[in-house]
């Protein structure tokens, strides 16, 4: 392996053995699955409905579908020539670690298979309409980088990821517990959907030059790096502003003010993107975007739990 790949591996703290397979899952992105399930379930608990087994099944199914999507991304980026041993990013199990592409693809389908089994249990316990939504989610997960026109090559990647992994997963997590759905649940999901979409936008800002060379038409490519960073900033401002509005109108409890602690991480994201122009230099900003979603979503879920234990209104 060449010097550039050694530098990349050292920067990403890549290690052999189990770490290779763990990195294939892209674990720091998986909170984008956990957070919506957690928030949707806490909203259900707030309405006096909670089944722990259903929660675990939904959580595992969501994580498996996202992990499989990440694997398909790794596989098809390699097949289309976007990834090589000198590529900078959170992938690399194929191009730098020597895992056979077919193994990655088969493992992704295996994860889908387990998610389907969990989905059947969820449907039996709630509604078979969940199966339709689950199939759509898996299909879009595959088509994100697979198929003739991958979603990742279009300006709609952020929109699909935000709505499906944010609003849809929160809605399903709430519905399977309560067998109902309210407009308040959809409204609460919007900031989290924005932060999840922002994770992909941050990734596309970092990969802008390479994606452009390979024919992608992401939002970051279409509007340019500086405007993409500004868009990321305003998306975060909107998400935080909506949170304050929700609290003021009683849609979220007063305890949800603790979610604003994630603003510090969001500021770091924008500052780091603006201060760095290399792929390696932008990696911390991309990682911090995912952490912003994690911190924000976890604190929103925690605030709902606190409100359940210590109800308070003003």
pLDDT in tens, 119-178: 999 999 999 999 999 899 888 888 887 878 888 889 999 999 999 989 999 999 999 999
Backbone angles phi, psi at 101, to 5 degrees: -55, -40
Q: What are the residues whose beta carbons fall under 8 Å from the beta carbon of 8, sequence distance 6 or more?
A: 14, 86, 87, 88, 92, 96, 280
Domain boundaries, the chain: 3-309
**What helix, strand, coil percent values describe the chain, rounded to 5?**
75, 0, 25
Measure the CA–CA gap between 140 and 116, rounded to whole angstroms: 15
pTM as predicted: 0.87
86 pLDDT band (50/70/90 cuts)?
low
Q: Please provide the CATH number assigned to the domain covering 3-309.
A: 1.10.600
Q: What is the pLDDT of residue 91?
A: 57
94 pLDDT band (50/70/90 cuts)?
low
Cβ-contact 6, 52 below 8 angstroms: no
Helices 263-275 and 225-248: angle between axes, nearest 10 degrees = 170
Measure the CA–CA gap between 299 and 308, rounded to whole angstroms: 14
Each residue's pLDDT tens digit, 222-271: 999 999 999 999 999 999 999 999 999 999 999 999 999 999 999 999 99
């Amino acid at each position: 392996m060449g010097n550039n790949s050694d530098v990349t591996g050292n920067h990403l703290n890549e290690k052999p053995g189990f770490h290779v397979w763990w990195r294939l899952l892209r674990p720091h992105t998986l909170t984008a699955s956990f957070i919506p399930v957690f928030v949707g379930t806490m909203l259900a608990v707030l309405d006096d409905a909670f089944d722990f087994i259903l929660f675990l099944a939904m959580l595992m199914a969501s994580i498996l579908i996202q992990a499989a999507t990440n694997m398909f991304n790794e596989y098809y980026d390699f097949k289309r020539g976007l990834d090589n041993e000198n590529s900078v990013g959170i992938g690399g199990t194929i191009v730098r670690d020597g895992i056979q592409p077919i193994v990655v693809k088969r493992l992704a389908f295996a994860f889908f298979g387990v998610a389907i089994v969990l989905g059947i249990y969820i449907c039996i316990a709630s509604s078979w309409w969940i199966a339709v939504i689950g199939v759509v989610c898996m299909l879009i997960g595959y088509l994100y980088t697979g198929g003739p026109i991958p979603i990742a090559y279009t300006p709609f990647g952020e929109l699909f990821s935000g709505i499906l992994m944010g609003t849809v997963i929160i809605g399903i997590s709430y519905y399977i517990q309560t067998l109902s759905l309210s407009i308040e649940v959809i409204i609460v999901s919007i900031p989290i959907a924005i932060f999840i979409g922002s994770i992909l936008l941050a990734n596309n800002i970092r990969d802008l030059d390479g994606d452009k060379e390979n024919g992608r038409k992401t939002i970051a490519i279409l509007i340019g790096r500086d405007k993409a960073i500004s868009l990321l900033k305003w998306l975060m401002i909107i998400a935080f502003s909506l949170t304050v509005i929700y609290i003021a109108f009683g849609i979220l409890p007063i305890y949800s003010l603790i979610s604003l602690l994630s603003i510090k991480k969001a500021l770091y994201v924008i500052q780091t993107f603006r201060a760095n122009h290399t792929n390696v230099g932008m990696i911390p900003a991309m990682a911090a975007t995912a952490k912003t979603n994690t911190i924000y979503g976890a604190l929103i879920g925690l605030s709902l739990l606190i409100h359940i234990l210590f109800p308070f209104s003003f």
